[in-house]
Amino acid sequence: DGGITQSPKYLFRKEGQNVTLSCEQNLNHDAMYWYRQDPGQGLRLIYYSQIVNDFQKGDIAEGYSVSREKKESFPLTVTSAQKNPTAFYLCASSPGTSGYEQYFGPGTRLTVT
């Protein structure tokens, strides 16, 4: 089945630790995205990538880092510099960036204590 996988579904970390969230897609999409969602709020863009080895900051990139070494993979690292990392993280992909619908993974709920 084609789709987007994110693992794990739930993640717990101690404050001060970096943590990497996985996102893999087998849809052969060029573009991939990371969003953050806080309770009762909409989605905020963290980073996006239009093509392998290229990525751009979104609205709330501070405290996060990404890589895009393979077309199908776009991991997100939440660093210790991120002040409020506890949130629901959603990964998405699309065939391109302008005008295409985005397809979403099931999300990872990160809790940092």
- Which residue ranges make up the site for other proteins (CB under 8 A)? 33, 41-43, 45, 48, 50, 56, 58, 88, 90, 92, 97-107, 109
CB of 90 to other proteins, least distance (A): 7
The whole-angstrom separation of Cα 35 and Cα 55 is: 14
Per the listing, tokens 């993280």 go with: 89
On the question of a cis peptide bond just before residue 95, with omega within 30 degrees of 0, the verdict is no
CB of 59 to other proteins, least distance (A): 8
Tokens in use for 59?
Answer: 């609205």
Q: Which is nearer to other proteins, 16 or 99 (CB)?
A: 99
- Amino acid sitting at position 54: D
CB of 46 to other proteins, least distance (A): 12
- Amino acid sitting at position 18: N
Q: Which is nearer to other proteins, 17 or 59 (CB)?
A: 59
Q: Which is nearer to other proteins, 5 or 17 (CB)?
A: 5
CB of 19 to other proteins, least distance (A): 18
Q: Which is nearer to other proteins, 51 or 81 (CB)?
A: 51
Residues 6 or more apart whose CB falls under 8 angstroms from that of 49 comprise 31, 32, 33, 55, 56, 66, 68, 74
